[in-house]
């Protein structure tokens, strides 16, 4: 099997893994913070948080900031892998 065909099959599998759950899973996608808050109020209804958020951005802004954080982290990890791979290949040639 050629590399092109293998890459195409892998790409199709990745796309299917991303799309199929969105189409066939019926559920509410919520964050862990909301689930934790619900559980705490269920267990101890009189609980009051120690701190209050300084500001609470709209959901779209919060989502964008989360995606930006993930992109920066992925970029840092990719840079580190490339850096170490480059250093390893450079030391092999000299």
Q: Which among 36, 14, 34, 16 is positioned nearest to 24, based on CA atoms?
A: 16
Mean pLDDT of the chain, nearest integer: 88
Cβ burial 70-91 (10 Å sphere, 16+ → b, else e)? eeeeeeeeeeeeeeeeeeeeee
Q: Residues 62-93: pLDDT tens digits?
A: 889 989 999 999 999 999 999 999 988 887 77
> What percent of the chain stands above pLDDT 70?
95
pTM for the whole structure: 0.50
């Amino acid at each position: 099997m050629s590399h092109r065909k293998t890459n195409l099959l892998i790409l199709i599998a990745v796309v299917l893994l991303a799309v199929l759950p969105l189409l066939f899973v019926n559920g509410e996608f919520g964050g862990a913070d909301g689930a934790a808050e619900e559980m705490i109020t269920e267990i101890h209804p009189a609980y009051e948080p120690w701190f209050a958020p300084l500001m609470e951005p709209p959901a779209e802004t919060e989502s964008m900031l989360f995606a930006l954080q993930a992109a920066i982290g992925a970029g840092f990890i990719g840079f580190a892998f490339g850096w170490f791979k480059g250093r390893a290949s450079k030391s092999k040639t000299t």
